[in-house]
Amino acid sequence: MTRVHVITDSGAHFADPGVVERLGITVVSQIIQLGAQQFREGVDLSAEDFYRRLPHFIGTPECHPPSVDEFRALYASLIRRNEQVLSIHTSSRMNQTIARARQAADEFLGRGKIVVIDSMHTSLGLGILIEAAAEAALSGEPLDEMVRIVRGMIPHMYAVYFTDSLDYLERGKRLSKSQSILGAMLGIKPFLSVEDGEIIPMEKVRTREKAIEKLVEFVSEFSAIERVAIMQSGAQPTEDTRLLLERLEQTFPGQYFPVMMYGASLACMIGPNGLGIVIYEGVAPRA
């Protein structure tokens, strides 16, 4: 039986990092640039290293996608081993990883089967999709069925964040310069949502308490939560995280809310001082 090999990029986060090795997932690194220095996310630079270096760095970090050459070499190696490939990556509206993966995959038309999927997500949302695909591969599911599974899951993935790092949103053209300046003056914290693969400001809140209230309201919209996690920008729970956990545990007794640290590639988009929630609702409809 032809094996299907699952590939993703380092924008993916996993509740259990051990699944990468256990399920044979290949992770291609995003490149994190701090000034003149470049690091391979997850290889040369862990999330902990990133946040430790950041206070000593002037300016905002940048995230660059893997090169076409890297994807080309990886696909060629797998095709030589007669393996099929399912390559699932960070949303095309967040960076150019998908474009580069597709450019490389197009070179193998007629020589092997490579499917590249735009996850429309990043971080844990992407990780949940990857884990499901790799579990299906391990169970011997054919490539077409794995594609069906992943595409069926994408519309049921949701993520929201709030942040006070307005300069990151401005640089990513998610806020205009005038909005960024005014927001900083007024102490406004954008409430962000992943919509159609793009991180967009939904509304603005004036206090972190109000932002936490919005996160709790977001969770309450779902009647069938299959996977959920709080995403924060450090290894240790902040006061905001503790307050959010307290509110969630009061409102949803019995529901487990793991806390995860988001990595450098997401921090380059929303900033290093964010807090958010990722939900996979499974197949149940929203309330």
**Structure tokens given for 224:** 């069938």
**Structure tokens given for 79:** 């095709």
Q: What number is the average pLDDT over the span 193-209?
A: 85
pLDDT exceeds 60 at position 284: no
What is the per-residue pLDDT for 231?
A: 97
- For the chain, list the domains and their CATH numbers: 4-155 (3.40.50.10170), 156-280 (3.30.1180.10)
Q: What letter represents residue 49's amino acid?
A: D
Could you list the beta-strand ranges (E) of 187-265: 189-195, 198-205, 227-232, 259-261
Q: Is the pTM of this model over 0.95?
A: no
Arithmetic mean of pLDDT over the chain: 89
Tens digit of pLDDT for each residue in 125-174? 999 999 999 999 999 999 999 999 999 999 999 999 988 777 767 665 55
DSSP codes, 21-65: HHTT-EEEPPEEEETTEEEEBTTTB-HHHHHHHGGG-SS--EEEP
Sheet holding 4-9, edge to edge: 26-28, 4-9, 84-89, 114-118
